[in-house]
Amino acid sequence: MGHRGIITAERLTTVDENAVALIGLDARIQQMDQMLDRLLSDDDLAGPAVQALQIVEAAGRRGLRQCALADSVSLPAGTVSRLVDTLVKGDLVSRRPHPTDRRVTMLALTAAGGRRLDRRRADYGRLAEALTPQAAEALRVVNPLLEVIAETLARSAKSKAA
């Protein structure tokens, strides 16, 4: 989760319904993120570690170049290197040399890493089973809408960066 903090709409200088709605959405997202962190905190995997494991898993048996992982998680190479060190020490990922380019390090998911991801997926399954029918329907409706908002914000961020 970001470090932006939760702001309230009470002190907006202009009454902009979209800004108020976005502030409310941000607050709900942060609250849900904190709840999910508590509910899924039975292991020591932080968000970037789970994301890295999934990316390495998706690469399959051939493995993944460590530099490709850095690109995929949008983190600096040094941060990814430390993250991979932690995953290797935890026997969740293995490092091996590239078969034809000894300058390249390949990453592969270990059996323990696969089990850890399976457990995290099962945890989400248990949380989903606890949803009321109304909450489950709300989830199905809101996810596509959130995707539209996320895509719009991503475009805005790209144009701001350009």
Which fold does the domain 47-110 belong to in CATH?
Arc Repressor Mutant, subunit A (1.10.10)
Q: What are phi and psi of 106, to 5 degrees?
A: -105, 145
- pLDDT digit of tens for each residue in the chain (162 aa)? 455 566 666 666 666 888 888 888 888 888 888 888 888 766 677 778 889 999 999 999 889 998 889 888 888 888 889 999 999 999 999 998 888 888 888 999 999 999 999 998 998 999 999 999 999 999 999 999 999 999 998 888 878 776
Domain ranges of the chain: 1-39, 47-110
Handedness of CA 123, 26, 30, 161 (dihedral sign): positive
Q: How far apart are CA 52 and CA 61, in angstroms?
A: 15
DSSP string, 98-148: -SS-TTPEEEEE-HHHHHHHHHHHHHHHHHHHTS-HHHHHHHHHHHHHHHH
Global model pTM greater than 0.85 = no
